[in-house]
């Protein structure tokens, strides 16, 4: 295969991750994920918002562990097989490099391109858009909004 064809092919598609939650699936570019780690009970404190499950330690850093479902008007669910997605922070705060998000299982890799069909579904808080992948509506989360939620609560 020529380099021109290979470059064109990779420029037209993107590797993304489907992040399984309790009541929905999120879609993120794979570069948003810093690491996937096993779930361990977070350290909690009195008076935390329902969407903040506590703090976890990752690579000698303390990270807030969030439930996207609870932050988006649902409820947190810590089920068997849960994982934690350590996500690269996007909000531009120099002191916040990563946040942690509770997942219900291991994410799946998928190739996407510019021909994704929009899904005609209702969006919840912290959801920017929805698209169809294999006959399933998946949501695109507002990661900057998640960081702002932490900032508004005085947690970062």
In this predicted model, what pLDDT tens digit does every residue of 21-43 receive, in sequence order? Answer: 999 999 999 999 999 999 999 99
Q: Is the residue at 1 inside a domain? A: no
Residue 4 forms part of a structural domain: no
The reply to whether 8 falls in a domain is: no
- Report DSSP letters for 2-24, one per residue: -HHHHHHHHHHEEEEEEEE-SS-
| Choice between 150 and 156, residue whose per-residue pLDDT is larger | 150
User: What domain range includes position 43?
Assistant: 15-152
What is the band of 75 on the pLDDT scale with cuts at 50, 70, 90? Answer: confident
In a domain, 9, yes or no: no
What angle is formed at CA 24 by the lines to CA 45 and CA 152, rounded to 5 degrees? 40
Q: Please state the rounded mean pLDDT for residues 51-63.
A: 95
Does residue 24 sit within a domain? yes
Which pLDDT does position 11 carry in this prediction? 60
Residue 25 lies in a domain: yes
Residue 3 placed within a domain: no
pLDDT of residue 14 exceeding 50, the answer is yes
CB atoms within 10 A of CB 73: 10
N- to C-terminal Cα separation, the chain: 48
The total of structural domains in the chain comes to: 1
Nearest to 151 by CA among 103, 90, 110: 90
Spatial contact of 109 and 121, defined as CB atoms under 8 Å apart: no
pLDDT one-digit tens code per residue, 124-143: 999 999 999 989 999 999 99
pLDDT of residue 103 exceeding 90, the answer is yes
Least confident range from 36-45, 53-62, 90-99, 110-119: namely 90-99
**Predicted pLDDT at 2:** 41
CB 14 within 8 A of CB 111: yes
- CATH number of the domain encompassing residue 107: 2.40.50.180
Residue 107 confidence (pLDDT): 96
């Amino acid at each position: 295969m020529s380099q021109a064809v290979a470059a064109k092919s990779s420029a037209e598609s993107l590797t993304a991750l489907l992040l399984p939650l309790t009541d929905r699936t999120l879609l993120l570019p794979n570069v948003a994920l810093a690491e996937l780690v096993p779930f361990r009970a977070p350290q909690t404190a009195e008076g935390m918002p329902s969407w903040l499950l506590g703090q976890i330690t990752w690579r000698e850093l303390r990270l807030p562990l969030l439930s996207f479902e609870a932050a988006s008007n649902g409820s947190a669910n810590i089920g068997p097989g849960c994982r934690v997605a350590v996500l690269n922070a996007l909000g531009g705060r120099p002191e916040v490099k990563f946040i942690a998000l509770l997942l219900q299982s291991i994410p799946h890799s998928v190739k996407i391109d510019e021909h994704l069909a929009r899904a005609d579904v209702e969006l919840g808080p912290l959801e920017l858009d929805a698209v169809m992948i294999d006959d399933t509506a998946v949501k695109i989360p507002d990661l900057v909004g998640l960081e702002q939620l932490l900032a508004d609560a005085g947690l970062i």
